[in-house]
Structure 1
Amino acid sequence: MDGEELVLPSDVQVTIINKNVMIPIRVVAENLKFKVDWNQQARTVKIQQDQQTISLTVDQKQAMVADKQVTLNTAPQILNKTLVVPIRFVSEQMGLKVRWNNQDKIVYLTNTSKEPAIDPGKSSGKGDSTSTAQVTDIQFANNQLVLSTDGAVQPIVTTLKYPDRLVVDLPGATFGDISQPLDQGLNGKLDVSGYPNVTEVRYSLFKREPAQVRIVVELNNVKNVQYSHNLIADKLIIDLNVAGDNVTPAPVTPVGDSGRKVVVIDPGHGGSDPGTISITNKPEKEYNLALAHKVQALLLNEPNIELVMTREGDTYPTRPERVQLANQLNADVFVSIHGNSVKSAPQATGTETYYYQRSNSKELATIIHQRLLKAMGLRDRGVKNGNLEVIRDTTMPAVLLEVGFLSNVLDEELMSSDDVQMRAAQAIADGIKEYLGL
């Protein structure tokens, strides 16, 4: 929305029904900041923004906008005990402009009251006569960011933390006939898979009036970064001297014909990525690692299990690296450990488990979830299908555990207890063994 990614809670699922993107009503309230009133008895929801009011009813295509009745393409529905509504209808009625990128499945929302007036012939960000330069090429190689422009630029280079990144702003610049792809929101990314200390290089038309291109180099496991830049003819060259943690997981060769099962335990986040911050101001990464170490200690005693950790300390293997490790090992089971959080709803509580579409993953998720529920004694939030990278791109049965809510006082107290962690670890280990038939 307005160029900023809306990061949704892990238990929020956006879905497509009859070619309509549907969002949970809590996204409307928490992220779009509209006022929402839900009438459980009448199964109606009223959404308000300034003087505009929309009334929707579950399973009915007829809606009221102010005092006028309109017909929806798809009726609001309740999925997994959550009310979902069509994002285009709600957003457009509230004065937002909606664009859909079908290739990447991204919805772009723009607040038209804030959107600058742009000559329609120049709305792509290319050829703006007020700009001093156009960016025509962006490359990253040999730890150098190389930008080609058709005019003079005065870069502003800054470093930011959490996560560590280098930000290059080019005031007065737009995109020309750039070699790299741009999506409808005038954003793009480079392939940096060969650079372990660089997670991502992304670029965008950050501002339109005045124009400004921004390039962000997101860094991985970086202790120190130094940079210098040079202007050579039409090229801006930024050299990165990056000192990293060198934490790419070392491959572990499973025992070939021994019959041992390979289990990968993944403590979520770590290093420069703290995860969520608990209600007592502690990073999720510490909880994930503490519980994972207890699971590790239990499974190392199992003669029929080859145990591998994606991280042993406060380091940050990227999500693709975690996936690659498990796939290279041809692991039998992958378990990712996390703590949940909804800071805007500190009353949220419970344990939930995610799998991705594969039936064997659902079986693993169900077995571990039932044991973990008994160990934690928290509300059962269910076993859910989730489109999460570490369980989607792994090729073996894989689950992601949201053990409890670090944003809830009582949940966090339980989750931080060594005794409860030990019970949870035993539940996870026993669930893995049951699934593997050990």
Structure 2
Amino acid sequence: MSEPTEIRTQPVVARRRRTVLKAGGTLLISLLTPLTARAAQILAVRMWPAEDYTRVTLENDSDLKTQHFTLENPDRLVIDIEGIDLNPTLKSLVAKVQPNDPYVSQIRVGQNKPHIVRLVFDLKEKINPQVFTLAPVGEYQHRLVFDLYPVNPPDPIAALIREGKWSIDDPVTESLPSPGTPPLAETTPPREPGKTPQPQVSRMLTITLDPGHGGEDPGAIGPRGTREKDIVLAIAKRLKTKLEREPNMRVMLTRDADFFVPLGTRVQKARRVNADLFVSIHADAFVKPTANGSSVFALSEKGASSTAARWLANKENAADLIGGTNVRGGADKQLASVLFDLSTTAQINDSLKLGKTVLQEIGGINRLHKNAVEQAGFAVLKAPDIPSILIETAFISNPQEEVRLRDPAYQEQMAEAIAQGIKRYFAKNPPLSKSRMM
């Protein structure tokens, strides 16, 4: 009786074993499939054309690998992106190309191979491409960035020459001024009998205006959606117009459109034109919407003057992480250390004098958050040889101040106040002669 039972039992056990193995295999495949077959998703595409460089950003839900190369006759940049499939968001990149883009005429997008998309940039001239990834930060997920730099970078002095604001024969050595001599005088006053004429400086003054943020970095955003980068660019352009009405002042903007400029590059641009002043313009946010008023900051080599100043400096110094730069952290820290070591007490003292006159003028149109110039370790103020200040025009996070910042009349008032402060500073501190930095 036991023998038939044994015969019947074996097939049942075998079937059960096969069923278990099949179920286990199905489970394993289901677990591995998302890891091996699922393509990354492109969430957004953005393009930022500018004379300095054109940036293209692909925001996605995972880190992507790429290969790229350039072709000639005609000039093209080819980029293969692994692990993605063509989707409508990526296809929309084609329509992002603007007619005034200095470097890109059109973009073609196609599925080159399974899970490999090819982008072809038809170029207007030869470029030096930089392709890199950025880890998630702030509101952004993973970003794949293509920076298209011209082979011959634009020269800020050449740009000023084209605008008629820089002469090849610009004097670089002048007589030293006497104390209290107004720098705006263009003619030497009549000499009184028996008195030795006092030397004057009549050279052009170069002022660098730095509208904060830009491009991938919108800066602070107000309750009504106002972006800091837009407001400060508008104020900077108004200020530029006012300063250039003076016969001996010319202005260079670190950015004149909506694109991102790394903090170190902003400083380098000022030094390239041998700037006499550096003024960075902002409209920040605070954790409390009730915070209000304008502030002026200078560099500190001994720590921040207040907890709020330290908090703000740390926030502004994180701009490179938000905006996205291809310089790795070690190089950033090394550059910051070098610039900081070169910063002199004289530069900070001049910055405090400039900040004081500007703060007094701003106080005539808006409440001051602090009645004195504050100090902190702002990376953008670390030009070792240029008096530099950072102006917080108002708190964009405050609903009332956001409304004012959006008002062209207030922007005009703010620009006028800063201009008057700058002119008062030069009237009290006539610029010395200096050699052009190469």
Bigger Rg, which one = 2
Normalising by structure 1, what TM-score?
0.46
More strand by share: 1
More helix by share: 2
